[in-house]
Amino acid sequence: MRPEYREEPCKVALNRVKGMGFKWSLNPYMGCVHRCTFCYVRAFELRADRPFDDRYGRSIRVKTNIAEVLRAQLARPTWEHETVAIGAATDPYQPAEGRYRLTRACLEALRDASNPLRIITRGPLIVRDVDVLAEAARRADVAVTFSVPTLDDDIWRRTEPSTAHPRQRLRALKTLVDAGIRASVGMAPILPGISDKPELLEQVVREAREAGACGVWANLLNLRPGTREHFLEALADDFPEQLPLYERLYARKAYLPAAETKPVRQLVADLTRKHGIRDRRTTRLAPEPEPEQLALAL
């Protein structure tokens, strides 16, 4: 089924967020055609009284004027140049970006304002914007995270029905790192009993290292209402043998207890050390340091 695109201008571009590692988020699109079975955005959609089930990702809002609105927000005297995170609630490089180029226009606005930014994506289309990202990274702190929870073909196909192959993301990461842009891999979400096997985790860390990732972090699946119903339904179809495990692990809570998450995170941390993951960029694009004020000798 072809998704419907609704061209709807926005009044604000930057949204204040709480409880995350950043204070401002920017989403040129709402809804995501990638339709990952585990998508955490389904939980927000349920709270906003929008479709979170199988209809999620079938209708995409396109904020056609977002770059102009963003430029106006960035130009306000009260704007403090805090970090803006792009892609926290939808993939900014989903296919619509090829046509609308809104993420690119927002990057140009952030570059012109010398504003720090973060991007999280599963979309290799980001390589199209390596020129803007490089210019932005010369003026302010820029970091890109590629979500690569697994490189296993079967798990990828079943859980991320419409994304590009994760190896394409690693190739995109290499292009960015070679251009001097800091790019890392986020292994998220790792699915208990499915993608948490040590050999699968090591495969991602090893190939992330080969691609030149500056860092690797991991997070396990959360199942908040909205995400929970859809994910468990997909699980029953794709991995029915795992249902009892999930019913036990997520019986009462959306988040796994530390006893379940810590060993997996520890293993990934050990693997990053073993494979020597660190910032190995030969060129590190960064803003020029502020010139020091010379004291006048009186």
Comparing CB distances to ligand SF4, the nearer of 238 and 270 is: 238
Least distance CB 40 / ligand SF4 (angstroms): 7
Q: Does 190 bind ligand SF4 (CB under 6 A)?
A: no
**Residues 122-151 contacting ligand SF4, CB under 6 A:** 122
Least distance CB 214 / ligand SF4 (angstroms): 21
**Residues 20-59 contacting ligand SF4, CB under 6 A:** 32, 34-36, 39, 41
Least distance CB 35 / ligand SF4 (angstroms): 5
Least distance CB 32 / ligand SF4 (angstroms): 3
Comparing CB distances to ligand SF4, the nearer of 96 and 201 is: 96
Closest to 30 measured CA to CA, from 46, 19, 22, 41? 41
Angle of CA points 293, 110, 6, to nearest 5°: 165
Angle of CA points 109, 113, 119, to nearest 5°: 60
Comparing CB distances to ligand SF4, the nearer of 41 and 183 is: 41
Report the DSSP pairing between strands 117-121 and 29-30: unpaired
Q: Which of 27, 90, 103, 184 binds ligand SF4 (CB under 6 A)?
A: 90
Least distance CB 41 / ligand SF4 (angstroms): 5
Least distance CB 80 / ligand SF4 (angstroms): 28
Closest to 85 measured CA to CA, from 11, 13, 189, 150? 13
Q: Does 63 bind ligand SF4 (CB under 6 A)?
A: no
Count of residues that interact with ligand SF4, criterion CB under 6 A: 9
Comparing CB distances to ligand SF4, the nearer of 36 and 117 is: 36
Angle of CA points 113, 85, 178, to nearest 5°: 80
| Cα–Cα distance for residue pair 185/162, rounded to 1 Å | 19
Closest to 272 measured CA to CA, from 212, 206, 191? 206
Q: Is the dihedral of CA 228, 231, 237, 239 positive or negative?
A: negative
Residues 6+ apart with CB under 8 A from 207: 151, 167, 170
| Cα–Cα distance for residue pair 181/249, rounded to 1 Å | 38
Least distance CB 91 / ligand SF4 (angstroms): 4
Comparing CB distances to ligand SF4, the nearer of 138 and 162 is: 162
Comparing CB distances to ligand SF4, the nearer of 237 and 288 is: 237
| Cα–Cα distance for residue pair 229/276, rounded to 1 Å | 39
Which residues are paired to 121 by β-bridges?
Answer: 146
Which of helix, strand or coil describes residue 249?
A: helix
Q: Does 91 bind ligand SF4 (CB under 6 A)?
A: yes
**Binding positions for ligand SF4, rule: CB under 6 A:** 32, 34-36, 39, 41, 90-91, 122
